[in-house]
Amino acid sequence: MSHRRDVVVTDLRAEHGRPRLGLGTPRPRLSWIARPTGATTPPWQQTAYEIRISAVPPIGTGQVKTWSSGRVDSPDSVLVPWPGADLASRERVGVQVRAWSGDESAPTAWSAPLEVETGLLHASDWQAVPIGPDWDEDPDTDHRPALLRREFRLPGSIRRARLHVSAHGVHEVEINGSRVGDEVLAPGWTSYRHRLRHRTHDVTALLHEGENALGAWLADGWYRGRYGTHGGNRNLYGERTALLAQLEVDLADGSRVVVATGPGAGSDGRAWRAAHGPITASSLYEGESYDARLAVPQFSRPGFEESSWAGVRVHPRDLTTLVAADGPPVRCTQEVLPVAVLTSPTGKTILDFGQNLAGRLRIRVSGAAGQRVQFRHAEVLQEGELYTRPLQTALATDTYVLAGVPQPEEWEPRFTMHGFRYVEVTGWPGRLHEGDVVARVIHTDMQRTGWFSCSDARLERLHENVVWSMRSNFVDVPTDCPQRDERLGWTGDIQVFGPTAAFLYDCSGFLSSWLADLACEQLPDGTVPWYIPMIPAEFWYPPRPGAVWGDVAVLLPAVLHERYGDTGVLCRQYDSARRWVDLVEHLAGPSRLWNTGVQLGDWLDPAAPPEEPAAARTDKYLVATAYFAHSARTLACIAEVLGEHQDAARYAQLATQVQAAFVGEYLRPDGRLASDAQTAYALAIVFGLLSGEQLANAGERLAELVAQDGHRVATGFAGVNLVTDALTGTGHDTTAYALLTETGCPSWLYQVSMGATTTWERWDSMVPDGTVNPGHMTSFNHYALGSIADWMHRTVAGLAPAAPGYRRLLVRPRPGADLTSASARHETPYGPAAVSWRRRGNDLLVDVDVPLGVSATIDLPGRPTSEVGAGRHHFTVRQPDPSAGVSGTEPASDALQPA
């Protein structure tokens, strides 16, 4: 059959793209992108597809077999259901796709094959059990990391080898002296009692016929190390660390050799052994200490003398709780060199890396044996000295003791990380040379998908700060901060930041995994803990229901559906979302007002005293009731998408009732709200709680308040992601821009003017005189206040989703302030979309790129709305008078964005 040559199917991926090895589902969903092969965009709208699956049978059992779905009439190309039989554990298949457009008989050529391979899908696939060192340790202290090893023999040539591995704690594995993989802090942090992730590695190239050895490093990590606020707790999940590893080697003769962690000797008479290594201490908060004189460089090679090593003991584990990782691991993604070497007033050497980040150092040093070099990390300086008070009880100190060998010694900590810009170095032998100390940036290795630029360098710096704060805090869980003794997965923070995150990076697998933990940790009555995974932490434990934070159970799945077209996450989280709204309905009772219980409200309103972060200008129960209405309405939309029509009607009615209760309780006869504050109006406007004259009055009053505050921000966490949308949604674009570009404290650009390279926890984490806010809780690397970036993408640049997964775009830039240009680019599930505009005299020139299979609504100031298809489009419109402001009505969207 002939095929189309002007369109090609590319970017074939299973689930959300990574990993392709060790998939944890027997029915992976498939996605692909149609791209033009030439410079011009042909007419294309997928109407059908065919999927071809080539199954590779076990070695020696026959030829490759191919199965086809046949032509399937469907426009879908994102997260398409698996068309064939369930895959078995360890099954490897090749997948190809071709597609048709319109009534044409000629499809595209077959896509390049995508090879996917399942991991261990069932508990019965595991022969391994967790093992740890067979020695006693004090449960009330951090444990010194251990080494584990085992030798084994492979009797023939190797066809394929896979290592399935996880741990109680954090681990690194070596085979024959070579490290397996490049992930950091594996297996990451999940709700360990319910879900322990494992990963599958292709280790074929590391093995050989004959004698081999497998070794591992094992440390406390989140599993039992000190973790949590106010000093934290140890032994959160158990008192001992353990390794779970299963090496499966398929030989050329069709046989399989399995080397698994377990007790006693294997069939070959060899057993696992354990010893201490050169890491003398390791903690996520405290840092790591390494004595190079104790290094054991050959322990993962065969023939190593292990007679002095101890045995191992087995630790219990319900293997049904093992789950394959469904997102990328934590890795080093960038290296940063110091921009300056400073000498403090007290004579200390301080390295300035020029960028606040999350990670750790790699050093290269020469000196005498026993020389001790120490590195203390912090985000800021005060009076020229390293300032560590914001770290609270986290020591954030790494120590290296030199071996004194002739060649330079290189070292990087294995099982810790820090949030820092500055590092104080003591004990360094001789002079520091370029490249001797490098900062290694560490975070979950997500694919970058979104970019923004404009003519104002300050706004570009603000956007870059948002990106860096996301990178710093997406370290396996979406944390609040990477530096102090906290680093918890706060639900409110990611609830407000979710749309921004989903534009900047493909965090679909990352956040889907975290939401699965949320559902596991949710209490039977529907209460959503303040942070996930849930651990004991003073005031926050046991958890109590709180608005904004608990609403993440409903609102974040809706964001993932809106941005990635993922209906599956709605289905998986539906019970969790419903239980949350049902709980709030019970707490509110017949009045439909949620006006009881513990509420954080508009957390960190800039008017709140440093030690009373919940003392906001907006009534906390107004916030709670507004969010109740919003979550109920969003849940109704979710139910409709899932075909739960009775639920959809019930929750829509509930939302209407709560809206009426909100208006009756909080809207005064004069048209003002009971809390005459920015956040109160932002919530009422964006959540659709007002209409007609009420809505217009609220918009006017919000603009008045912003002006009265000198266009400075007066919202905390509950309003920060809504206030600019509330202004532009009611025709006050000029005020929104004035708010965005204000530089006085508190404001987004105040942080930039103070030299920030990440977004802060408080609007004034550093006060104007250059000293750190005196509050107990002060961080310079939080992402919640950076949620403004989503408005920058959608309104300043003008690129927004108008249907799930960006299947339809809304192009609606609203130029303002003194900007002369702006642009946004996003890798949608259907391909790259972009909007850019620039001013030329009195004209506004707009360029729009729409992917194949996608349409766009074009809503430009001074021009009627229109619809366009795929391709590059150019528009020129007369520029309105900037001093008059620009208003417009956003077209309806069928994405999960209830009015």
The answer to whether the CB of 387 falls within 8 A of the CB of 425 is no
**Rg of the chain over all Cα atoms, to the nearest angstrom:** 28
Distance linking the first and last C-alpha atoms of the chain? 49
Rounded to the nearest angstrom, the gap between the alpha carbon of residue 658 and the centroid of all alpha carbons in its chain is 32
**Residue 872: other Cβ atoms inside 10 A:** 13
Long-range contacts from 37-42, C-beta under 8 angstroms, 24+ separation: 37/5, 37/6, 37/7, 37/8, 38/6, 40/871, 41/852, 41/870, 41/871, 41/872, 42/6, 42/7
Catalytic residue, from 15, 183, 521, 761: name it.
Answer: 761
Q: Which helix (H) or strand (E) holds 868?
A: strand 866-868
C-alpha distances (whole Å) from 33 to each of 40, 71, 328, 514, 866 are 17, 18, 21, 27, 25
Spatial separation of the C-alpha atoms in residues 443 and 476, rounded to whole Å: 7
Neighbouring CB atoms inside 10 A of 649's CB total: 13
Given 50, 486, 562, 585, the catalytic residue: 486
Whether 172 sits among the annotated catalytic residues: the reply is: no
- What does each C-alpha distance from 78 to 172, 336, 524, 567, 817 come to in angstroms? 35, 37, 34, 10, 38
Bridge-based pairing of strands 210-219 and 146-154 is: antiparallel
* 688: number of Cβ within 10 Å: 16
Give the tokens for residue 763: 């609007």
What is the DSSP secondary structure assignment for residue 781, as one 8-state letter? Answer: -
Query: Rounded to an integer, what distance in angstroms lies between the CA atom of residue 899 and that of residue 897?
Result: 6
At residue 216's C-alpha, the angle toward residues 211 and 222, to 5°, is 165
- Known active-site residue 379: no
Distance set, CA 27 to CA 118, 126, 168, 555, 648 (Å): 10, 20, 28, 27, 28
Report the C-alpha gap between 242 and 194 in whole angstroms: 17
Listed in order, strand segments (DSSP E) in 15-137 are 21-23, 30-36, 46-55, 65-68, 72-73, 92-101, 114-118, 131-133
Structural tokens at position 650: 């019930």
Residue type, 92: R
DSSP 490: B
How many C-beta atoms surround the C-beta of residue 772 within 10 A? Answer: 19
Q: Name residue 853's amino acid.
A: G
Give the Cα separation of 638 and 834 in Å (integer). Answer: 28
What angle is formed at CA 604 by the lines to CA 603 and CA 609, rounded to 5 degrees?
A: 120
**What is the distance of C-alpha 636 from the center of its chain?**
26
Is 400 exposed, middle or buried (CB count within 10 Å of its CB: 0-12, 13-18, 19+)? buried
Angular region, 604: left φ>0, alpha ψ -120 to 50, beta rest: left
Residue tagged 């990380």 (tokens):
417
The amino acid at 561? H
Residues designated catalytic: 486, 761
